[in-house]
Amino acid sequence: MAINILSWNVNGLNSPVKRTKCLDYLRCKNVHLALIQESHLKAADVHRFQNRYFKVICSSSAANKTKGVLIVSKRNFDFSIIRSGGDTEGRITYAVGSVYNTKYAFVSVYAPTEGDPLFFQELLRLVVSLEDCLVVLGGDFNTVLDPQLDRSHASKADSIISGCFNSFLRHTNICDVWRLQNDGVKDYTFFSARHKSYSRIDYLLMSPSLIPFISKVNILPLLLSDHSPVFTSLTAVSLGSRHNRWRFNTSLLQDCTFVDELRSSLKEFLQINKDSVSNPQVLWETTKCFIRGKCISFSSFNKKHRESRKIEFENQISLLEKELKGKFRESKAKEIKVLKSELKSIYLHRAEFIIHRTRHSYYFHGEHSSKLLNYI
């Protein structure tokens, strides 16, 4: 199997719905480790960006609700932390640990928007100190490596800070893995509505020894933030899986179509089977199995339909964004906006369900000692 890593500037996580949507996005993309920038979370609130599937393993926050970086790990991802740390400005955080007996260092960074050479000096010192690790560094660097390739419109303002960025890569010997797989290709991670221009300012950088194990590196569509996530997959051994006990999805009771279908099917089922057995207990157990089957069937169909629509919208957005990056047209921008609105409604529906399920779990478990305590 693979270790899936995603670097993403989320542009704020103070909204509970936004946090839920982002965490669900990570789950849908089967991300094992996420390098997050611009969380805008204070240190006391960082724990809010976790759920039953993901946990925060390290973070750095600013004094106010700006900046903020963190690293999120899937709970069943076998990463044994040796040490972690970061700065006090909400710009750098890192975690050193073992993955399948190999020492890794995962780093999430958010560079100053105004361009600061001192930031790259501090980052250089950190990466040099991690020389005994395989480094995976993701972040929003607020500058580009190659102004000709990484901006839709080249800017002279890039020259100094872009030089610092290139110098940092030369001294650390880490690689821009997306560019390695897309030599000469123009693609971008950020759209400036003010300047009507695109740029690739979000990067995944890795130690050269990891390059043979990279199966893919993709810039994903702009969806829940104004930055595109950068996704990569590293070859690894199986992570294993876990089976969960089935529970009735109470939100189905709010779906009129489901209620009508179940009522009709259940009436027909009882008419056929009520006289077929003498023991009412057998009929009751059989009825429960029938109801469970109908619930699973209906939920599975709806989920597949939503996922297919989600993939369809993402593909359409990705295609239109490529056209827009080549030549900006207002009509295309409006079309993308409509598609994003449709896609966001799907994520919102999913987020509402997750919040409902979380409330149900807290009510159901109450103060009982259970696995729920592990998620808090």
Structure tokens at 29: 């993309």
Task: Name the active-site residue from 24, 140, 158, 202.
Answer: 140
318 vs 221: CA distance, rounded Å: 5
Q: Is 363 a catalytic residue?
A: no
322 vs 150: CA distance, rounded Å: 14
Q: Is 14 annotated as a binding residue?
A: no
Structure tokens at 88: 């006090």
Q: Is 38 annotated as a binding residue?
A: yes
Q: Is 153 annotated as a binding residue?
A: no
Task: Name the active-site residue from 25, 110, 198, 347.
Answer: 110
69 vs 286: CA distance, rounded Å: 52
Structure tokens at 207: 């130690």
Q: Is 226 annotated as a binding residue?
A: yes
Q: Is 273 annotated as a binding residue?
A: no
Q: Is 150 a catalytic residue?
A: no
131 vs 153: CA distance, rounded Å: 36
Task: Name the active-site residue from 94, 176, 227, 347.
Answer: 227
Q: Is 227 a catalytic residue?
A: yes
14 vs 335: CA distance, rounded Å: 29
Q: Is 142 annotated as a binding residue?
A: yes
**C-beta separation of 336 from 329 below 8 A:** no
Q: Where are the beta strands (DSSP E) in 211-309?
A: 214-219, 230-235
CA 254 to chain centre: 29
What is the per-residue burial (b if ≥16 Cβ within 10 Å, else e) of 164-177?
A: bbbebbeebebbbb
**C-beta separation of 56 from 64 below 8 A:** no
Specify the amino acid at residue 234: L
Residue of 235, 172, 225 lying closest to 201 (CA atoms):
225
Q: Where are the beta strands (DSSP E) in 129-185?
A: 134-140, 175-176
Residues flagged as binding site: 9, 38, 140, 142, 226-227
Residues flagged as binding site for Mg(2+): 9, 38, 140, 142, 226-227
Which residues are catalytic, by number? 110, 140, 227
